[in-house]
Amino acid sequence: MLWIIIALMVFIIQIASIIIVEYRRPNKAVTWLIVLFIFPLLGFFLYYFLAKEYSCQRTLRRKNNRHWKQFKADLINRCNRRITKDMPEANVWRENIMHASLKNITSVPITACNEVTVYTEGEEAYESMLESIAAAKHHIHIEFYIIRDDYLGTRFKQLLIRKAREGIKVRLLYDGIGSRLLGKVFLQQLRDAGVETGCFFPPLVTFFDKRINYRNHRKIVVVDGKIGFFGGLNIGDEYVGKDPKFGYWRDTHFCLTGDAVLWIQYTFLTDWYLVKEQTITDSVYYPIQECPGKELVQIVKSGPDETILELIFSIIVTAKKRIYIETPYFIPDPGVLLALKTAVISGIDVRVIIPAVPDKKLIYNASLSYVQELLQAGVRFYCYQKGFIHAKVIISDNLACSGSANMDMRSFCGQFELNAVFFDGKVVDRLVQDFYRDLSTSNEILLSEFEKRSRIQKTKEVFARLLSPLF
């Protein structure tokens, strides 16, 4: 009898602990309570090690980050000086509510004088990256969530080794979980050639430090501080369509020249500082940009304490005509869910493209649990049929946001991401064209047909949705 009372008291303490810590995030609290009820001891063990709130800013302050704060302010002033009063860009913030929101939500300013290239297939994007790396004169900075030791990974490795031996400074960051299969030999060969490497949150260390649930999902290449790549592509053969399960791989990646590259560089070097504790702010890494382009770009650097959720919400609620979304994972938070419903009720054209074949079944079932609810509201959903769609794009009227962030809770609040906002211009037009082309190879999900799915499938969706705040 005493053991029962003790066990009950321990269980009550565990419940109370979760409620006290997570009271500001009720959806997450309910999810962890469900896990706790299903797995009484294991559930709290997982919660203790996986649910700790992580603050990048506190970590930086603990490492005496005054230098970075001042450097960022100087960089902002430098970019603002490039926007003169006679340029249309000078008044962009006053044009509408969306632009004003972007100014206040993000910590990085809009940049002018950019030129943007959009890639929709991995092969073309990788060839452009490799060509730029091969032409590097001073430094190469690379950061990816996933790096594989396969044919494509070997091409990158060999080129980086060659450039390092030529005397070019090469720095490589990889995520500890995303690149967990990357062998020691692969990394040692890079180090032996002079490439500096860093692991963002090694699994074992961060597990005991309760940070394993926070991953670096960014995909960055910066060459000589003048050319920047980012988007949805990692380094692996599947991203060029060589995975027999998925076949053709549809993604969206970008190449930038211009002032926006300074902020991609800033993102990489602050990550490098977190991992290696090396402060790198020399002017040679932030050269004067001589790009003649006219595109407006705002880099959006997000993480556990610098979330992208407010930005996505603002993009949706300020739309007047259209909201187009492409995402491999669709798990909106309650605010975004309500915003999409409100938009379509207001007569806005809201369309969402998701994969027809999932790569993660549990997350896919969670995504489907939201489909019926939004179909009933009037949102139109499409399943991409040509292969696997990994593009992460949101188009709102004449503005677009794209990069590494998915439309799910992990990208909203738990992962380090890098996106960009593109304003009215050729980039937005190109992304709209890509969206319509993807629609032509997608099948629309009809509510009448979707409601006929089996009870087993519906049960899977209910269970997955209950766990979705953890995804």
Active site (catalytic) residues: 217, 219, 224, 390, 392, 397
* DSSP character string of 244-300: TTT-SEEEEEEEEESTHHHHHHHHHHHHHHHHH------GGGSPPP-----EEEEEE
| Contact between 271 and 173 (Cβ < 8 Å) | yes
Do the strands 349-355 and 380-384 form a parallel or antiparallel pair, or are they unpaired?
parallel
* DSSP character string of 358-412: -SSHHHHHHHHHHHHHHHHHT-EEEEE-SSEE---EEEETTEEEEES--BSHIII
Tokens matching residue 368:
């489907």
Tokens matching residue 285:
């890494």
In angstroms, the CA 50 to CA 209 distance is 10
Tokens matching residue 354:
């998701």
* Cβ atoms within 10 Å, residue 192: 10
Q: Which residues contact 85 (CB under 8 A, 6 or more apart)?
A: none
